Structure 1
């Protein structure tokens, strides 16, 4: 059990009244009935930062010309982003590759030229500016905008809240099971296994080449980010006398 789970358990069960029976049960776990339940906790958060991939694709029969054209446009693109307030460390090359291009006619392969692709990953601190950054990139030569993703900068407090909710969910399930079976639940679990935590964007935004080039003003909706936590919890119970 990691430290975050331990701290939440102490807070979660700090008001529980643990008697001698519970202590005895913890010491004699092999001889008591147990109940396993799962718990899920979800927290929805407004994202406060975004990443967008913008880039340039050039084609020419000469590889050196295609590379030179790409470098010229990307240099202009980076300069325009920095002038718009994007920090240098928030602009990073994400992809760079060169492919030969061929046409096929009558079963024959004919060399057409080279394609050079250079994609930048741009971090935008203010998500309100994402649409403007996309438009700026396109107006300065970008002909690829492959993806926009939204993130939460400081996730720890939300992850802790999701974990806390997953414990409450597990306890509610255990209480429901015991009430249905007519037995009594000891509220303090004897074992907790933390499962996988996840972060999911409810509405990821993806742009293709056609969308970007045909749009004079790019609307971007951030939606919400959902942070989840899962636990497996083992409780003990006893039959009424």
Structure 2
């Protein structure tokens, strides 16, 4: 059997921008109880990053239709969309993990045929013979067994899918939360070390953390664009093999410390 190997690389930018500057620090003085009438503080910005294998694949698959009237396109989308849905369920995808991502029917004008016929319509009646309709019904499919993602793609194509959109390898919510905690721990440890180092350089000590901002960071999933046209051109139907890289989870912190 011919096998297609799609090697995935790092994808989207983190969903939330980093707060502050990596490794940056900022010393400042504020009114307090020190002998000179001021309170010394230092603000440190650090980030942590962890990597993990994805435990969730999100696919977009769909059917398309073209026809002379909207009703016919709608009926064709319904029939072929149901067949695609049933095939995914029969494969083993939970019904709750298959949801409609997009359903759309639009009218179009065949300008090329108008030019070939030498027609320049002056009214909607004259334009009507050149109007046609195109429709799309796309599903969002969550695959929790990541290693099965390639087989799910093949199942969809065999069931008549006209489109296979971007494939995203990411993390489930529980895994994402767990790894974010790890990244935060790394960032906070680095911030503490940075603050201790700077305080030592100015003959001071870190008293306590006065303010902590952990709003920065995010998740960088891995993406792959599936080329359905390339499969259609193959002599034999290939088996799709997907090899996702690691998903990156990042967290950043801004910590203000009081120095004594």
TM range (shorter): 0.7 to 0.9
Q: Which residue is equivalent to 2:214?
A: 194
Measured after TM superposition, the shift of residue 182 of structure 1 is 3.8
Distance 2:73 2:206 in 1: 71
Q: Which residue is equivalent to 1:40?
A: 47
Distance 2:93 2:217 in 1: 31
**Structure 2 residue 91 is the aligned partner of structure 1 residue 84:** yes
Q: How many residues align?
A: 211
Counterpart mapping for 1:109-124 below 5 A: 111-124=130-143
Measured after TM superposition, the shift of residue 166 of structure 1 is 1.0
Does the 8 A contact of 1:138 with 1:212 survive in 2? no
**TM-score w.r.t. structure 2 length?**
0.73
Measured after TM superposition, the shift of residue 58 of structure 1 is 0.5
Shift of the 83–193 alpha-carbon distance from structure 1 to 2, 3 Å rule, reads same
**TM-score w.r.t. structure 1 length?**
0.78
Shift of the 108–161 alpha-carbon distance from structure 1 to 2, 3 Å rule, reads farther
Does the 8 A contact of 1:185 with 1:235 survive in 2? no
Distance 1:85 1:59 in 2: 30
Bigger relative contact order (CA 8 A; separation at least 6): 2
Shift of the 189–219 alpha-carbon distance from structure 1 to 2, 3 Å rule, reads same
**Structure 2 residue 167 is the aligned partner of structure 1 residue 167:** no
Q: Which residue is equivalent to 2:250?
A: 228
**Structure 2 residue 211 is the aligned partner of structure 1 residue 204:** no
Does the 8 A contact of 1:47 with 1:225 survive in 2? yes
Measured after TM superposition, the shift of residue 31 of structure 1 is 2.4
Shift of the 38–218 alpha-carbon distance from structure 1 to 2, 3 Å rule, reads same
Query: Structure 2, unaligned stretches of length 5 or more?
Result: 1-31, 122-126
Distance 2:86 2:252 in 1: 45
Query: Structure 1, unaligned stretches of length 5 or more?
Result: 1-26
Q: Which residue is equivalent to 2:155?
A: 136
Distance 2:120 2:96 in 1: 47
Secondary structure (helix, strand or coil) at the match of 2:194 reads helix
Q: Which residue is equivalent to 2:107?
A: 100
Secondary structure (helix, strand or coil) at the match of 2:189 reads helix
Distance 1:183 1:103 in 2: 79
Aligned-residue RMSD, C-alpha: 2.4
